[in-house]
Structure 1
């Protein structure tokens, strides 16, 4: 084993140890934090709490990566950019460490590798893990946004029923939000509570929430309720029509997604037929190729 290979193995091994430490630290159960919950209800106006050196470094890195960080998807999933950057760092360190461990074990059996093989394998695997973590956020956000649209459709119906019962605009929004379960209704209740504590219009909070989460249907609800709260318009029919339209749109999207998955299922079947045809034709091809040799 050459000195260069020993140095590379030592560096990658140290990176693997750091990756394991960060992974264990992030997976360790934490005590409930009341600070973030209070910050969501009432953003602080004074000086920020002191941060550690690692937190400051991650914050600076997150600020530098604002253009490539999916901020809307992270807000939808309830994650901060700092947490996302930390997950990317952990994935990169794991990607650097795993190939070095595997190649180190092979080197102990007597096999030797050049300098380019371990470095290229480590960098390539690290890039692959970082890409997987990045794409995972987008895929989870698509699923969460789809669930959010279904919940907003239900919320539209509930608000319409409250208006039909003679409730006021703000009371209809609050009562309808209290009838639902799930994280979407929880976010809506937090938004309405924040609007109540800050003495602001609840429909403005719903429109801002729709913008933050990338769900324009919440903004449409805010516009409809603003018309009811400001001009006193009768919005029952408008709410039911918007709920019906959204429900039809969701149904269309689900049918399109089902057709896409059905078409994707045909690809393995076609490949299986090709493999079976090759297996059936192989004896005849082997005989044809072997016939001149016999003569």
Structure 2
């Protein structure tokens, strides 16, 4: 009875999803206008930059078409996904490829259900569909959340690297201000010195701000919002408040760089402490296993005798 109910529910959900995919609901006027404005702003930014955005990923074939349809569906439903977009922006991936991967991995797990059934049949477990069905559903759920976990982990590592680059960028800006340059010139000169993947992002943001007529701190604030980097947003706010006083800017940037280095050092010390504790636990398990190895012959001798 339970298997029939589960199978009926799965079939009903599949038919409903198929109907929604084939005959999607028409989006409202507000969602259409919001999607049109977002597409226009995106095209204007790309035209002003004179090149493709570095966050776009080359995706071809069925995966690209599926990803575009999923993105249209999400935008029509009004799903913002700000955290996911920020993680994708800092890892230089596209939303289309991410959504297509989240859809294709669980689908692949469900498609392999006949293979699982055949395997259980060869083992002699039986031909009941309940066990293979639950196994495929469990794997589908795991595969559905796996891209999110991988993206979140990679984005956290990239943000840590970016914060380290921001600290060095603040030191370079402070030194340029001490040399007599103005704030915009100091920002551009400091961004042109560093290498890696973080400094070009800052350099491109400042160059695009010069083309579009924005201030450098507005560009840094937008980059901080796009990548979800709080340090860039704080830097943009500080530069906007004290842009006319070079000495105050230099002191503020030096203090921010020092505080970022202190926090980074404390984070490294905390990670080192966690690894030390994990190593201590591993050593305790080894000691416990060695004690069992020593005591086992004597205990068995007492039990047998």
Give your verdict on TM over 0.5. yes
Does 2:180 match 1:166?
Answer: yes
Contact kept, 8 Å, 2:191 with 2:202, in 1: the verdict is: yes
TM-score w.r.t. structure 2 length? 0.72
Contact kept, 8 Å, 1:227 with 1:233, in 2: the verdict is: no
* In structure 2, C-alpha distance between the alignment counterparts of 1:186 and 1:220, rounded to whole Å: 20
Q: Specify the alignment match of 1:116 in structure 2.
A: 130
* In structure 2, C-alpha distance between the alignment counterparts of 1:54 and 1:154, rounded to whole Å: 41
Contact kept, 8 Å, 1:92 with 1:126, in 2: the verdict is: yes
Q: Specify the alignment match of 1:57 in structure 2.
A: 69
* In structure 2, C-alpha distance between the alignment counterparts of 1:151 and 1:95, rounded to whole Å: 40
Q: Which has the higher contact order (CA 8 A, sep 6+)?
A: 1
* In structure 1, C-alpha distance between the alignment counterparts of 2:250 and 2:123, rounded to whole Å: 76
C-alpha deviations, 1:20-79, integer Å up to 9, x for none? xxxxxxxxxxxxxxx8993682799xxxxxxx8634421144445545962322222122
* In structure 2, C-alpha distance between the alignment counterparts of 1:264 and 1:212, rounded to whole Å: 36
Does 2:146 match 1:138?
Answer: no
* In structure 1, C-alpha distance between the alignment counterparts of 2:83 and 2:234, rounded to whole Å: 27
C-alpha deviations, 1:111-170, integer Å up to 9, x for none? 534111111111111212222221111111111111011000000011111111111211
* In structure 2, C-alpha distance between the alignment counterparts of 1:56 and 1:147, rounded to whole Å: 31
**Greater shift in the superposed pair: 123-132 or 65-74:** 65-74
C-alpha deviations, 1:232-289, integer Å up to 9, x for none? 5542222222211111111111111111122122222222222222333333333344
Q: Secondary structure at the match of 1:180?
A: coil
* In structure 2, C-alpha distance between the alignment counterparts of 1:53 and 1:85, rounded to whole Å: 11
Structure 1 residues 248 and 56 mapped into 2: Cα distance closer, same or farther (>3 Å)? closer
Does 2:61 match 1:38?
Answer: no
Contact kept, 8 Å, 2:67 with 2:98, in 1: the verdict is: no
Q: Specify the alignment match of 2:291 in structure 1.
A: 277
Q: Secondary structure at the match of 1:78?
A: coil
Query: What RMSD, in angstroms, separates the aligned Cα atoms of the two structures?
Result: 3.1
Contact kept, 8 Å, 2:88 with 2:94, in 1: the verdict is: yes
- 2:118 paired residue among 87, 94, 104: 104
* In structure 2, C-alpha distance between the alignment counterparts of 1:263 and 1:284, rounded to whole Å: 32
* In structure 1, C-alpha distance between the alignment counterparts of 2:80 and 2:280, rounded to whole Å: 40
**Structure 1 unaligned residues grouped into runs of 5+:** 5-34, 45-51
TM-score w.r.t. structure 1 length? 0.74
Structure 1 residues 110 and 79 mapped into 2: Cα distance closer, same or farther (>3 Å)? same
Q: Specify the alignment match of 2:224 in structure 1.
A: 210
Does 2:190 match 1:182?
Answer: no
* In structure 2, C-alpha distance between the alignment counterparts of 1:288 and 1:68, rounded to whole Å: 66
